[in-house]
Amino acid sequence: MHVIGLTGGIGSGKSTVAELFAQHGVPVIDTDLIAHALTRGPSPAMTQIAHTFGPEFIAPDGSLRRDVMRAHVFRQPDARQRLEHILHPAIHDAASAALAHLPAHTAYALLVVPLLYETGDYDDLVDRVLVIDCDEATQMARVLLRPGLSREIAQAIMAQQWPRQRRLAAADDVLNNEGNLHTLALQISTLNQRYLRWDY
């Protein structure tokens, strides 16, 4: 089985692309969903977060108070590194286990990692990297449609990610997501056929 690492800047359309690949029967493992699962309630990761950051970051049900943590990480960049030090190894292990449990006949799987290049943690798991691309203005417009994300926080998140040109230079494959959903779906259908053949 081959693994495609799917990445792109915030607002590039990773979730939409993952859904379209899933419609072709491709297994999708999303590290954002893993991170949410790890911080949804009491867990070893949440115990570490409480110990490192304090009880004010933990909701009564034991889950992470995401809005509080997002604001804290925005104000103190070193806090982001401490949080990633706790979460990233656990996310990697869960992603690796999920891939290992896929059926043996699986041709390829999609591993969605927003910070794939930035962390460098997934080189051992992915065979090719697919970057979803759109310009920064499009990214920002999409991000500002999300509840709870200000322009200031969105800019801070974008600053933590590789610049667009650096991502494109490192990519094995690129999906342009400036157009409509139909155009995107056609690109994905073509890529899916290439990945199934795997004539690289």
Amino acid occupying residue 83: L
- Could you list the residues known to form a binding site for ATP, using ranges: 11-16
Cβ atoms 132, 178 nearer than 8 A? no
Token code pair at residue 175: 């999906």
Q: How far, in Å, are 46, 64, 66, 68 from residue 61 at the CA level? A: 11, 9, 13, 15
Q: Which residue ranges make up the annotated binding site?
A: 11-16
Give the span between the Cα atoms of 108 and 48, in whole angstroms. 34
What number of other Cβ atoms are within 10 A of residue 118's Cβ? Answer: 14
Least Cα distance to 129 among 152, 113, 106, 147 occurs for: 113
In angstroms, rounded to a whole number, what is the distance separating the alpha carbons of residues 15 and 29?
11
Helices (H), strands (E): how many in the chain? 10, 5
Q: Using DSSP, state whether 3 is helix, strand or coil.
A: strand
The amino acid occupying position 56 is: E
Alpha-carbon 167 to chain mean position: 14
